[in-house]
């Protein structure tokens, strides 16, 4: 049964839209943090649902104040102590990174009542700015959580579903057709598209990218030419799920390598990309050291590379990269929404053996391959077999994630696993 509650919500920009509230995986971890820490900071990309989540969970117990509005922001900047007296805890401060001068005064109030949990709930769409202020000013007093767009498990109403390699009861899911799967991938996971009224996807994602450029990128002050930055965005999208050659990318768009590095850090800090780095230990083999980059939303990725049709997305030259991005995002969101920092890597040797994702689960490594074919075969598990030979007992049985209809064994080293069950 889906955990949907129909209601109207007010977005951060003041627009009211009718949506169905969809339960988020992060909810129990957010509640727990608010009972244990005086300050909870919730970051994530713009439009990921931070405001809706906090109003739903804490709207009855906490005041809500958005610092996005210029007059409210000016009031907080001009008289921080008077502002905090007016909006005393428990309170939610939305987009708090706009008023960095507020943090020392929040610290002062917290230190007077250190034992009272859940006094301040802080949100921001700029991880770099919010995390820096929280780390420098509120160290030891705060919990840091991240909210990303909807995972597929959240969309289908089973947010607590364990991942395939984890213990726990799994609920059976309704099978979906390949067309429906690719329609979901093309749309992406932003709440307004998943839970709101039907929208023109290209218009929505175009507006999102423009808003992101004008607000988050401009605020980070590391980008001078926005037209060139947009060219960089599209060039990077075309390289999604590939080994990233920064020199080649810089040459193609006509900027310095250091500029590309700086812009990539902006995208990572504002939750627009996930960077996977290679997994390696000293096992005597030469391993590839270049990173791989994935956009944090498949809808944004499809928009940037000009895909509007599910069939074209599935069968076009980027079909494999888009499917890989979808799986990386699903696992990354599922782990992030538990309050964890995902330990995700990829593995590739200089002689061509590779595994798309390696999950470091502490005492074991989980190798994962991603395929677009709905008909799995043992040949798809070659990389997993090579990885297990190299890492021995530390490497668990792996998974080949693909749009197949049911799980089935692919020899002793791997299991084919349906994407919709992930």
Give per-residue pLDDT as tens, 311-354. Answer: 999 999 999 999 999 999 999 999 999 999 999 999 998 888 89
pLDDT digits (tens, 9 = 90+) for 374-406: 899 999 999 999 999 999 999 999 999 999 888
pLDDT confidence tier of residue 7, bands split at 50, 70 and 90:
very low
- pTM, rounded to two decimals: 0.89
Which of these CATH numbers, 3.20.20.70, 3.40.50.360, 3.40.50.300, 2.40.240.10, describes 4-146? 3.40.50.300
- Bridge pairing between strands 142-146 and 292-295: unpaired
CA geometry: angle at 146 spanning 114 and 123, to 5°? Answer: 60
Q: How many CB atoms lie within 10 A of CB 289?
A: 11
Rounded Cα gap, residues 219 and 369, in angstroms: 38
Cis peptide before 48 (omega within 30 of 0): no
Q: Domain coordinates of the chain in residue numbers?
A: 4-146, 152-421
Residues 172, 406 contacting (CB under 8 angstroms) = no
Residue 19 pLDDT > 70: no
Please, what is the average pLDDT of the chain?
88
Tokens of 201: 């996807």
| Over residues 240-253, mean pLDDT | 94
pLDDT confidence tier of residue 8, bands split at 50, 70 and 90:
very low
pLDDT digits (tens, 9 = 90+) for 55-75: 999 999 999 999 988 999 999
Tokens of 173: 């899911």
Neighbour-count burial for 143-158, b at 16+ CB within 10 Å, e otherwise: bbbbbbbbbbbbbbeb
For residue 378, what is the enclosing H or E element?
none
pLDDT confidence tier of residue 3, bands split at 50, 70 and 90:
very low
| Over residues 271-300, mean pLDDT | 85
- Residue 229's SS3 state is helix
- CA nearest neighbour of 173 among 164, 185, 182: 164
Rounded Cα gap, residues 330 and 336, in angstroms: 10
Residue 312 CB-density burial (10 A; 0-12 exposed, 13-18 middle, 19+ buried): middle
Q: Please report the pLDDT score of residue 97 as a whole number.
A: 82
Ramachandran assignment for 198, one of left (phi > 0), alpha (psi -120 to 50 degrees), beta (any other): beta
Ramachandran assignment for 225, one of left (phi > 0), alpha (psi -120 to 50 degrees), beta (any other): beta
Q: Which residues contact 312 (CB under 8 A, 6 or more apart)?
A: none
Q: What are residue 178's DSSP bridge partners?
A: none
Dmax (CA) of the chain: 67
């Amino acid at each position: 049964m889906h955990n949907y509650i129909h209601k109207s919500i007010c977005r951060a920009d003041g627009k009211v839209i009718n949506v169905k509230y969809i339960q988020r995986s992060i909810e129990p971890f957010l509640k727990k943090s608010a009972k244990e820490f005086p300050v909870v900071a919730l970051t994530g990309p713009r439009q990921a649902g931070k405001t809706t989540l906090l109003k739903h969970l804490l709207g009855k117990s906490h005041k809500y104040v958005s610092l996005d509005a210029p007059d409210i922001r000016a009031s907080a900047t001009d008289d921080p102590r008077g502002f905090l007296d007016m909006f005393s805890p428990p309170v939610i401060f939305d987009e708090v990174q706009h008023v960095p001068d507020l943090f020392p005064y929040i610290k002062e109030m917290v230190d007077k009542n250190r034992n009272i949990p859940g006094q301040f709930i802080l949100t921001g769409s700029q991880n770099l700015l919010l995390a820096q202020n929280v780390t420098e000013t509120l160290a030891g007093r705060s919990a840091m959580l991240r909210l990303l767009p909807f995972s597929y498990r959240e969309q289908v109403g089973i947010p607590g579903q364990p991942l395939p390699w984890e213990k726990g009861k799994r609920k059976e899911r309704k099978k979906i057709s390949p067309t429906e799967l690719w329609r979901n991938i093309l749309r992406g996971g932003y709440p307004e598209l998943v839970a709101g009224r039907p929208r023109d996807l290209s218009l929505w994602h175009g507006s999102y990218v423009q808003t992101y450029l004008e607000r988050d990128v401009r605020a980070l002050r590391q980008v001078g030419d926005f037209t060139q930055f947009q060219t960089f965005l599209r060039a990077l999208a075309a390289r999604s799920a590939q080994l990233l050659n920064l020199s080649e990318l810089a040459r193609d768009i006509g900027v310095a390598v250091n500029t590309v590095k700086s812009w990539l850090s902006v995208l990572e800090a504002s939750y627009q990309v996930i960077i996977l780095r290679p997994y390696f230990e000293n096992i005597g083999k030469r391993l590839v050291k270049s990173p791989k980059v994935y956009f944090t939303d498949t809808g944004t990725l499809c928009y940037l590379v000009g895909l509007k049709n599910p069939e074209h997305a599935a069968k076009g030259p980027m079909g494999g990269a888009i499917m890989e991005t979808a799986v990386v995002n699903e696992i990354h969101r599922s782990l992030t929404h538990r309050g964890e920092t995902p330990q995700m890597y990829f593995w590739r040797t200089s002689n061509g053996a590779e595994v798309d994702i390696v999950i470091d689960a502490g005492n074991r490594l989980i190798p994962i391959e991603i395929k677009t074919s709905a008909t799995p075969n043992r040949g798809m598990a070659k990389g997993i077999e090579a990885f297990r030979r190299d890492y021995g007992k530390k490497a668990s049985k792996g998974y080949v994630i693909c749009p197949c209809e049911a799980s089935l064994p692919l020899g002793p080293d791997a299991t084919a696993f349906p994407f919709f069950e992930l």
